[in-house]
Amino acid sequence: MTSLFIVGFFILTLIVLYFIPRLLVWTLAMFMYLGLIYEIAVGTRVSIFAFSIFSVFYLFIVVFFNLKPLRYVLSRLIYWKAKKLIPGISPTEKLALDAGDSWYESEVFNGKPNFEVLHNSHKFTLSAEEQDFLNNETAQLCSMIDDWKSSYIDRDLPVEVWDFIRKKGFFGLVIKKEYGGHGFSAAAHSEIVMKISTRSGFAGVTIMVPNSLGPGELLQHYGTEEQKNYYLPRLAQGIEIPCFALTGPTAGSDATSIPDRGVVAYGEYKGQRVLGITLTEINKRYITLAPIATLVGLAFKLEDPDNLLAGIGNPGLTCALLPHDHPGLEIGDRLLPMNQAFMNGTVRIKESFIPIDWVIGGQIMAGDGWRMLVESLSIGRSISLPACGTAVALFSTVLTSAYSMIREQFKTAIGHFEGVEEQLAKMGGLAYMLNAARQFTINAVDSGKRPAVASAIAKYHLTENGRSALIAAMDIHAGRGIIMGPHNYLATLYQGAPIGITVEGANIMTRNLLIYGQGMMKCHPYLQTIYESLTGNDGFKIFDEALFGFVGSFAQNTVRAIFHAVTCGAFAKGYPASKFNSYYKKITRLSSSFALVSDSAIVFIGGDLKRKERVSARLGDVMSYLYMACATLKYFKDNDERVSDEIFVRWVLEHCLFNAQNALFDVLDNFRVSGIGCALKMCVFPYGRMYKKPSDKLDHQLSQSLLNNCETRNVFKSMCYVPELQDDIVGRVEIAYKAVLATEPIKERIHRAIKAKQLAKGDMAHVIIAAKASGIITDVEIAILDKAAKLADEIIQVDEFGPYELGPKNAHPEWAGKIKI
């Protein structure tokens, strides 16, 4: 009887901890002693002794943790010990941690995602004006671009394209209308960059940069009124072409280590002695648009040895604006990133003096550059690079599904081979996931958020998975994909894919340091408060409250995770209105497991999490996959739950759950304290691995849906530039694809006739003649077959160059030196 009572009491305690972990539970203590009296009356001596020990221990816990004078004894010991052990944090790291906001990833992080919040959040929409610009000006710009000619022959966009970009305000997409810009939403910005990027990666970069992290963005948020009124109209009209110079040879991802110096000093400007900055030994590289920039944004470390700032502004990383022709400024040299023709180059200054008013935001903003950059970066990373990564996945999926029906081997469209099906399903699923995550993260920006963690998730996973989709596309195209030329619609995207991986925070750093590192501080309800109380002065009381809040939260997460694990998530929170309710429950179950493992890592690894990058990366993977699963469910619901989307949603959810589960296993298998890792694994995965990757059957269904031009594929296509014009290679692929689809019923009839012995097997041309003679097909249907065969034959051809068009052939002396004239 005693054991049953203890078990029941323990369960009741856990329930209380689940709901009200910090309540003064005198009521439970009273029930415990009533139970003890009962045991004295009817139990044995052993049971009385056992229960007495249990009750005394429990009463001690209740009293100790809820009476502050007693609790302070323990918390003071922990406080002073932790204060000595906590790793230091630099001012720049603190700025990075403080900058930006959390978004829905905080729901995932804390183990109890609220799906009502998910579905009631901002919906991705374009205004009528924005949609019109996307349908007309953006499509017209795409039609003017010859990617092969611009990328490999001219190494630049034509003059008429530059003029069109200026005239139509492509450099002022996000500049407010009061300054002459379009004032478009983040959603429109993303859609426009994405569509252009499906036509030309380097054109997409050209439009992306002035509207992302750069002078325009910084001026809008931090510039003085004088700076805004002068520069923003000029930027919006394309009178000024901006660039922003941050990265240098010794400072890439670690931007705070830039050696470029500026010293506050008095100097001459326009014949007058003014307070300013002497810039010395500035050396920047990888600066997009620098070779053609007329306005250069520059980041440097400001020093003020003579205290000339006089309390207005501070030394530290500072951002300023310089006209391209300012004395001492050297720009113009070009770099060639992965053979991509977008303008990229160097910015150098040996010595130059600039007025203090050229600091963005004026003198008062001196030393505030790092905060400005970090806050703006969270917006840029949410929009531009995710748009480019998604563009690659969508375009690859649309064109490869078409090519897989056009290209035949062994008298069968290659899309029907299981190996191709597997890759095609992966592409379609990833494209759907990336687009959903892109839109969901954009929603945060359009809601007024600066999503620091969500932007890192989007930047990393959308560029990485975009590259994965493109690699699959290249594998399916095989030889057709590797021969360069005007008719290769994948090669320039393939060459440019690594660029998105490396810029605005290299992906290795983003995954290993930023996603979970920032997420831990931004999303955990108590951790940042604890950290700040330890690194500040006299923070004991704040520490005590936050510490025991953490203890209560840890207890909740433990109970929740074990309960959902033991019950396989049967009682986890779902979304009953959805046909995917079971997946909502699975997300909740894994989210609760993640919260427990994350809390355990914080407790048992502590400050070393900053250095245990692989643990941090895997925890970030769990959070990221659950975030993208939630984004997919929101996208599906927001788009009226299209029937054709259902298999894509199921594929994405199974892909995300499988990868999140595996990442958790990897964390626990490599946990610092192996015994704790094993115990946690038993708690959160008592039955082993529960989730499997998408099945072969689901892969087959998804790939066949794409091959048969389902509604979802057409939605993908609408986001890309795919003109159905015969003089455009992309358009010709789509025309040929539809022509091939039109032959499917005819071919099926012929196949049935062969199976029924009405026709003999043989060469297709002879079979068609026999089918016509037998009345199985008509002359009109033969014309349909001939047209499709002709169009398909054009598509599978590759570009050829003349004997000396690509250069000399020096193997034979008599041919040496010959080139195309």
Q: How many Å apart are CA 42 and CA 30, to the nearest integer? A: 19
In the predicted structure, residue 818 carries a pLDDT above the cut 80 = no
Three-state DSSP at 722 gives coil
Confidence check: pLDDT of 597 > 90: yes
Sign of CA dihedral 96, 97, 99, 101: positive
Residues 518-524 have a mean pLDDT of 89
Q: How far apart are CA 74 and CA 68, in angstroms?
A: 10
Distance, in Å, from the CA atom of 517 to the CA atom of 608, rounded to the nearest integer, reads: 11
State the Cα–Cα distance between residues 625 and 438, nearest whole angstrom.
Answer: 13
Say if residue 218's pLDDT is above 70: yes
Residues forming a β-bridge with 59: none
Enter the tokens of residue 38: 């009962």
Q: How far is it, in rounded angstroms, from Cα 698 to Cα 653?
A: 12
Summarize the confidence of residues 376-385 as an average pLDDT: 81
pLDDT surpassing 80 at residue 504 = no
pLDDT at position 21 is: 44
Average pLDDT of the residues in 372-397 = 89
Q: With a cut of 90, say whether residue 55 has pLDDT above it.
A: no
The residues that bridge with 274 in the sheet, in sequence order, are 267
369-406 and 491-502 helices cross at what angle (nearest 10)? 150
Residues in the chain: 821
Distance (Å) of CA 635 to CA 187, 439, 562: 14, 8, 31
- The dihedrals phi and psi of 811, each to the nearest 5 degrees, come to -65, -30
**Phi, psi at 323, each rounded to 5°:** -65, 150
Per-residue pLDDT reduced to its tens digit, 688-705 = 999 999 999 999 999 999
Tens-digit pLDDT profile for residues 135-151? 999 999 999 999 999 99
Instruction: Give 543's contacts (C-beta < 8 A, 6+ positions apart).
Output: 75, 79, 530, 533, 534
The per-residue pLDDT for 460 is 95
For residue 644, the 8-state DSSP code is: G
What percent of the chain stands above pLDDT 70? 89
CA 551, 555, 560, 566: dihedral to nearest 10 degrees? Answer: 140
Could you give the C-alpha distances from 214 to 244, 245, 290, 320, 695, in angstroms and in order? 5, 9, 12, 11, 45
User: Residue 91: its pLDDT value, please?
Assistant: 63
pLDDT over 50 at 33, yes or no: no
Q: pLDDT band at residue 30, thresholds of 50, 70 and 90?
A: very low
629 within 8 A of 580, measured Cβ to Cβ = no
Closest among 70, 55, 2, 69 to 25, alpha carbons compared: 55
Q: Which carries the bigger pLDDT value, residue 541 or residue 392?
A: 392
- Angle at CA of residue 101, ends 389 and 88, nearest 5°: 100
**Reported confidence tier of residue 672, pLDDT bands at 50, 70, 90:** confident
Which residues does residue 409 pair with via DSSP β-bridges, in sequence order?
A: 412
Q: Choose the weakest-confidence range: 241-250, 374-383, 755-764.
A: 374-383
Considering 504, 532, 734, 781, which one is annotated as catalytic? 504
Dihedrals phi, psi of 350, to nearest 5 degrees: -80, -50
Would the pLDDT of 175 be above 80? yes
Residue 45: pLDDT over 70: no
Four-CA torsion 142, 145, 150, 151, nearest 10 degrees: 30
CB 528 within 8 A of CB 96: no
Range of lowest pLDDT (255-264, 304-313, 371-380, 752-761): 371-380
Identify whether the C-beta of residue 118 lies closer than 8 Å to the C-beta of residue 633: yes
Which residue has better confidence, 235 or 547?
235
Q: What is the DSSP string of 457-506?
A: HHHHHHHHHHHHHHHHHHHHHTHHHHS-STT-SSHHHHHHHHHHHHSSS-
pLDDT band at 34 (very low <50, low <70, confident <90, very high): very low
Q: Counting beta carbons within 10 angstroms of the beta carbon of residue 230, is it exposed (0 to 12), middle (13 to 18) or buried (19 or more)?
A: middle
276/263 Cα distance (integer angstroms):
8
Per-residue pLDDT averaged across 13-33, rounded?
Answer: 45
Q: Report the candidate in 371, 351, 349, 352 with the shortest Cα–Cα distance to residue 360.
A: 371
List Cβ neighbours of 334 (8 Å cut-off, separation of 6 or more): 291, 343, 344, 345
**Mean pLDDT lowest for which of 20-24, 180-184, 422-426, 557-561?**
20-24
* pLDDT computed for residue 213 by the predictor: 75
pLDDT at 67: 65
What is the per-residue pLDDT for 22?
Answer: 42
Contact assessment for residue 460 and residue 389, using Cβ atoms and an 8 Å cutoff: no
DSSP-derived 3-state class of residue 318: strand
Average pLDDT score over residue span 793-803: 94
Phi and psi at 252, nearest 5°, equal: -105, -100
Q: If you average pLDDT over every residue of the chain, what do you get? A: 88
Helix (H/G/I), strand (E/B), else coil: 691: coil
Amino acid at 147: D
3-state secondary structure of 241: coil
pLDDT tens-digit series, residues 786-797 = 999 999 999 999
Structure tokens at 283: 């050396």
The predicted pLDDT at position 87 comes to 64
> Is beta strand 295-303 parallel, antiparallel or unpaired with respect to 261-269?
parallel
**Residue 332 pLDDT exceeds 60:** yes
**In the chain, what percentage of residues exceed pLDDT 90?**
69
CA–CA gap between residue 116 and residue 768 (Å, rounded): 58
Does residue 31 carry a pLDDT above 70? no
**Does residue 619 contact residue 143 with C-beta atoms inside 8 Å?**
no
Confidence of residue 44 (pLDDT cuts 50, 70, 90): very low
d(CA 383, CA 204): 12
Residue linked to tokens 């139970």: 35
pLDDT digits (tens, 9 = 90+) for 158-174: 999 999 999 999 999 99
pLDDT of residue 25: 41
Q: What b/e string do you get for 83-119 counting C-beta neighbours within 10 Å, with b at 16 or more?
A: eeeeeebeebeebbbebbbbbbbbbbbbbbbebeebb
Residue 685 has pLDDT above 50, yes or no: yes
What 3-state class would DSSP assign to 283? strand
Taking the C-alpha atoms of residue 378 and residue 442, their distance in angstroms, rounded to an integer, is 11
- pLDDT above 50: residue 1: no
CA distances from 720 to 158, 402, 474, 479 (A): 22, 14, 18, 24
Beta-carbon count within 10 A of 11 CB: 11
Report whether pLDDT(12) > 70. no
Q: Is 240 among the catalytic positions?
A: no
